[in-house]
Amino acid sequence: MNVATKDAVALNARLKKIKERVKEKEEDSLIESRVKQFKEKEEKAAVERRVEDLKKGLSAAPGKGGEGRGAGGTEGPGGGISRGNVESRYKAYYSSIRDKVQDAWIYPEGFENKKVTIIVSVRIARSGKLLDGWVNESSENPRFDQSLLDAIRKASPFPPLPADFEGPYLETGFRFCHPRCE
């Protein structure tokens, strides 16, 4: 084999290696692009699920207990905890809050025989301190609404958040009924 042929073979070998590296880089780039698209799609879906959970937590209070959506984490208020998970995982905590509020609640006069429902939200710090409380769905009677907000303030502080609860605070909704929710 002469020198020109050897140089041509060596050049072809180098070109082949360069083409292989270019192809590998293109494949790596394509993979990175697809991974990025997948992550973006998953993040968007997670946000959409979180929004739906929040909507359900505020609008659909369960018949018994009335616990709403848990919150207070790394993904804004919520920490990625689903409503069902919060209700089952922290049921005892929710019950303790509900019981303290029920015990502190003094119904205004004139409501003894009236069926009244109200949905409230609270924001509780890790320490159990009440950060905020507000009416989500009014009973349509300001005195009754205020009596429940007063009871929430009177019942606080609540027990500290469970140690495994993620996030700096819990934000959740409760449905209260007088005399009883059915």
pLDDT tens digits in sequence order for the chain, 182 residues long: 787 787 788 888 888 888 888 888 888 777 777 777 777 777 777 777 776 666 555 444 333 333 333 443 333 344 444 445 555 667 888 888 989 998 998 888 876 667 888 899 999 999 999 999 999 999 888 988 999 999 999 999 999 998 888 888 988 888 888 766 55
Q: What per-residue confidence (pLDDT) applies to 54? A: 62
Nearest to 148 by CA among 114, 112, 103, 96: 103
Q: What per-residue confidence (pLDDT) applies to 63? A: 37
Distances (CA, A) of 92 to 46, 47, 65: 27, 28, 11
**CB count in 10 Å sphere of residue 116:** 17
**CB count in 10 Å sphere of residue 24:** 10
Q: What per-residue confidence (pLDDT) applies to 154? A: 96
In the chain the first and final C-alpha atoms are separated, in Å, by: 96
